[in-house]
Structure 1
Amino acid sequence: MVSKDKVSQGRYFPKRPKYMLIVEAKFDGEQLATDPVEHTDQPEFATELAWELDRKALHQHRLQRTPIKLQCFALDPVSSAKENIGYIVLDLRAVQEKKQTPKWYPLLSNKYTKFKSEIQVGVVLETDTKALVDGFKAKEAPPREGRGNLQASCVFTISKLVNAILTQWRKTSM
């Protein structure tokens, strides 16, 4: 099963020309981040972040109400300081198998009190029938007696650049 959560853009942000924006997503102890984008009033994140888990793990996370936390940061490229702007929390239980229209979520604990900054997120579960990247797929388990061959993998995706994330992961694991 593939669960996609697309963080595509933001709105109602103040313009800060010398700063960059980044969204970090945390789920099940693992953290992934978007590429830095210009700190404009309507930033374009257009990034996918993915977590892979099987149906059993997905079910367990739903039972435990494991949240997906997305935090927005302003980066100062000169000092490399990371300033927390705000966050949103997604409920994994609300993710469905049919495609949903992306929704706007207001940032909680928004640092920009005069602005009501929001980020657009779309979440969907899909059956994982093909590899995310050619050559990056686990071997299929042999079929069990009395049962059909089931695809048991589930990928949780947040936004666009899966290839870049996998490439980065491969570089760091070598």
Structure 2
Amino acid sequence: MVSKSDQLLIVVSILEGRHFPKRPKHMLVVEAKFDGEQLATDPVDHTDQPEFATELAWEIDRKALHQHRLQRTPIKLQCFALDPVTSAKETIGYIVLDLRTAQETKQAPKWYQLLSNKYTKFKSEIQISIALETDTKPPVDSFKAKGAPPRDGKEISSKRCHVLPIASYQAQQDVPSSSCAYSVSALDSAISLRSPASFQ
């Protein structure tokens, strides 16, 4: 049985963007994928400085974290432009985070430039921080999304998803690649976030 001190959260804070073109008829969404588990921000206005203000967090134990670091499992973030009328998603670019840079001490957020940016005339960037936090929440029987308290005076949304240890994950080959019991839309309905729109 995993002790409380061994339970951690990989927390990716997606704060804001800059150098984006203005597209009033579109919204921006960032999806983050780690070891087959995908979470996403709520859609935000497609301005030149979009405000995401969202935390995405995965539960993990130290043993599994060690294995992921050895295997250099990436956390991939993809940015999409969403047409709210047709629900069409347009890939804008992506960012790859190195899990080995996540520490249990607070670190200042950094600006990451979008790779393969569709907006070739813009050097679009997103401010992101990645950290490890001790999971002080009591264990639950099912996967759950929870709200996070405001930090530094800003409203922060939070979505959390459990990540199975490597051994358990490999033993369940018949389970779909995303073992999270919530889809993105279900996560959005589970908590009240700052944006009124929901994302499929």
Counterpart of 2:31, as a letter, is E
Separation in 1, partners of 2:15, 2:157: 11
Instruction: Name the structure 2 match of 1:168.
Output: 186
User: Which letter maps to 1:35?
Assistant: D
* Normalised TM-score (structure 2): 0.68
Q: Using a 3 Å threshold, how does the CA distance of structure 1 residues 70 and 79 change in structure 2: closer, same or farther? A: same
Larger Rg: 1
Tell me, yes or no, if structure 1 residue 8 matches structure 2 residue 26. no
- The whole-number CA distance in structure 1 between the counterparts of 2:99 and 2:160 is 24
Name the structure with the higher strand share.
1
* TM-score, structure 1 as length reference: 0.77
Q: Distance in 2 between matches of 1:103 and 1:114?
A: 22
| Aligned equivalents of 1:21, 1:106: Cα separation in 2 | 16
Unmatched 5+ stretches in structure 2: 1-7, 142-147, 149-154, 162-181, 191-200
Whole-angstrom distance in 1 between the partners of 2:111 and 2:19? 11
CA distance in 2: counterparts of 1:48 and 1:97, whole angstroms: 16
Q: Report the identity percentage.
A: 69
Distance in 2 of aligned mates of 1:18 and 1:30: 30
Shift of 1:59: 0.5
Q: Unaligned 5+ residue runs, structure 1?
A: 140-156
Residues 1:137 and 2:139 aligned together: yes
* Corresponding pairs, count: 149
Shift of 1:127: 2.1
Distance in 1 between residues matched to 2:85 and 2:96, nearest whole Å: 30
